[in-house]
């Protein structure tokens, strides 16, 4: 199970993309001028020059130690009227060499930013880079420490920071501090994030279209009030049936679906290339014998039906449209997680919907998830949307401001993402395209890439090929006008099958030419879906 959302190796920077850094004569840290931040007040600024600085490997967020850093660190603390908050924006400025670019970095889970862990890889490559805590105590796994005020009411000020306000503050502070230190504004500014960080990137494109020239949004947590509650659907299905499959059974169903649909695209590579075309029915597995924990288990009708409903999702619960389900081939062991209590299996709710529903939708720290069936799920879903869609929905399809600013938005999403449904990213692309109409070519400013067999942000037990340098592709698009048609991708070392692929620009899909090595991207073309 993914116990925390991850920054992951899919976003490790490729030094080849950022060669030829530019030398700059800079002021000392202490000479940096304080930025003006509309709607906020600066209450403190700290400066520190760090020489030969090291940030140690911290899994899962920083896969490798970063050392030899020479940076000017600036930490700006600010507050917003009426919010009773203290927000820190941390900026790292490479000393001696700077590549002329500024990068804002996003968060994961319930953390608005990752601080040193996100800053270090970029600073090592010569970027001026910033992170923000949004005024929240750092805990990616729970909002418990900040969600409710002392009266037990939702802390709207801090939720607003988490939703959108602090991302803009980061851009204003980071760009101003960078310009003051180097005596020149950044040539180009970028946003980089996955999951929560991906959602933050979409917020920037929608609400603050002039902040960044290029935005990389991986597996964006878009449609937050809907999708986070939809993450609870597997637990509601099990609660309704009062049957809780073991992790072994769930993994067996995932692999069985992959085996059934692997070769639909004409290639046997251990992944489902297009989950929407996989029609595997778990009821066909009833009576099958599988080994779990050294014991033989027979697949029951009840467990097969639970898996079917989890894949189906709460699409038309009580005749009303709700949300997507997990794609076939995506692991089930996070959202449909179970555990053993007093010798029996019980549900184990994933921490993101648990935190959201407990503290924001219900404002009840003692809320009991074990009793949530279909009726309660539907009630929670409706309350979540009604209360918070305008605050944290992050799904406005109007990107006309971003288009006018000549911004570029590159989204990518794994088709086996077990935490954020890839259908959401496709849905958003379609809505942006529809909103723009004939007067707007969406591909001029927004491109989406769906990676078959890839888990959340490229983490977990991903068997598919992960985009190897999406950030480099974004920079090339912004600075050279080279719009990406496909992203180069490679399987992680842990994958059972090793191969390279090209991840095609949506709605194109990759198709094997019928000849050539199936483990090589060169044997595939990007074609219209009807041709696949």
Question: How is the chain split into domains, by residue range?
Answer: 22-186, 227-390
Residue 417 annotated to the active site: yes
At CB < 8 A and 24+ separation, what contacts does 428-431 make?
A: 428/202, 428/220, 428/222, 428/223, 428/395, 428/397, 429/506, 431/395, 431/397
For each successive 10 residues of the chain (532 residues), what is the average pLDDT?
A: 42 42 60 89 95 94 94 97 96 95 98 98 98 97 97 97 98 97 96 98 98 98 97 98 95 97 96 96 97 92 97 83 92 94 91 98 97 96 97 97 97 97 97 86 97 94 94 98 98 93 97 95 92 66
Q: Out of 164, 166, 195, 523, pick the active-site residue.
A: 195
Residue 456 annotated to the active site: yes
What Rg, from alpha-carbon coordinates, does the chain have?
A: 23
Residue 345 annotated to the active site: no
Phi, then psi, of 356 in degrees rounded to 5: -65, -50
CA-to-CA separations, 340 to 141, 269, 290, in angstroms, rounded: 21, 34, 19
Query: Residue 510 pairs with which residues in a beta bridge?
Result: 526
Q: Out of 53, 80, 168, 456, pick the active-site residue.
A: 456
Distance in angstroms (rounded) separating the CA atoms of residues 472 and 478:
10
Q: What is the pLDDT of residue 37?
A: 93
Q: Out of 169, 274, 417, 469, pick the active-site residue.
A: 417
Distance in angstroms (rounded) separating the CA atoms of residues 200 and 191:
9
Q: What is the pLDDT of residue 11?
A: 43
End-to-end distance of the chain based on CA atoms, in angstroms? 33
Q: What is the pLDDT of residue 200?
A: 98
Residue 173 · residue 130 · CB < 8 Å: yes
């Amino acid at each position: 199970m993914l116990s925390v959302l991850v920054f992951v190796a899919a976003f490790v920077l490729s030094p080849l993309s950022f060669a030829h850094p530019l030398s700059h004569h800079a002021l000392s840290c202490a000479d940096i001028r304080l930025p003006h931040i509309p709607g906020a007040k600066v209450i403190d600024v700290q400066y520190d020059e760090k020489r030969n600085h090291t940030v140690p490997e911290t899994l899962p967020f920083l896969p490798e130690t970063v050392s030899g850093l020479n940076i000017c660190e600036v930490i700006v603390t600010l507050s917003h009227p009426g919010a009773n908050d203290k927000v820190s924006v941390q900026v790292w400025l490479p000393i001696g060499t700077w590549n002329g670019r500024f990068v804002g970095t996003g968060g994961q889970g319930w953390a608005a930013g990752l601080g040193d862990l996100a800053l270090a890889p970029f600073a090592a490559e010569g970027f001026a880079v910033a992170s923000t805590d949004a005024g929240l105590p750092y805990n990616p796994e729970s909002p418990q420490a900040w969600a409710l005020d002392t009266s037990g009411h939702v802390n709207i000020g801090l939720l607003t920071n988490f939703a959108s306000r602090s991302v803009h503050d980061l851009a204003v502070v980071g760009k101003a501090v960078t310009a003051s230190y180097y005596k020149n504004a950044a040539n180009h500014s970028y946003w980089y994030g996955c999951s929560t960080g991906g959602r933050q990137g979409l917020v920037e494109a929608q609400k603050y279209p002039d902040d960044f020239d290029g935005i990389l949004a991986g597996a964006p947590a878009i449609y937050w009030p809907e999708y986070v509650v939809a993450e609870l659907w597997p637990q509601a299905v099990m609660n309704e049936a009062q049957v809780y499959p073991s992790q072994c059974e769930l993994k067996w169903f995932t692999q069985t679906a992959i085996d059934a649909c692997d070769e639909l695209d004409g290639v046997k590579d251990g992944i489902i290339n297009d989950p929407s075309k996989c029609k595997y029915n778990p009821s066909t597995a009833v009576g099958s014998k599988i080994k779990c924990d050294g014991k033989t288990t027979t697949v029951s009708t009840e467990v097969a039906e639970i898996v079917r409903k989890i894949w189906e999702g709460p699409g038309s619960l009580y005749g009303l449209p709700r949300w997507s389900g997990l794609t076939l081939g995506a692991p089930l062991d996070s959202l449909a997680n179970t555990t053993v209590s007093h010798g029996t299996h019980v549900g184990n709710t994933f921490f993101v919907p648990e935190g959201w529903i407990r503290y924001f939708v219900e404002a009840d720290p003692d809320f009991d998830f074990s009793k949530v069936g279909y009726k309660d799920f539907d009630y929670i879903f409706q309350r979540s949307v009604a209360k918070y869609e305008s605050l944290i929905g992050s799904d406005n399809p109007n990107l006309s401001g971003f288009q006018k600013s000549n911004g570029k938005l590159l989204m990518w999403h794994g088709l086996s993402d077990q935490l954020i449904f890839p259908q959401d990213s496709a849905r958003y692309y379609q809505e942006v395209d529809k909103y723009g109409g004939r007067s707007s070519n969406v591909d001029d400013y927004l491109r989406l890439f769906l990676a078959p067999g890839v888990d959340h942000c490229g983490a977990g037990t991903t068997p598919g090929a992960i985009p190897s340098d999406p950030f480099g592709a974004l920079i090339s698009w912004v600075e050279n006008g080279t719009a990406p048609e496909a992203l180069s991708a490679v399987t992680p070392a842990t994958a059972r099958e090793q191969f390279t692929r090209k991840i095609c620009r949506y709605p194109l899909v990759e198709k094997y030419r019928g000849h050539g090595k199936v483990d090589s991207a060169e044997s595939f073309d990007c074609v219209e879906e009807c041709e696949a």
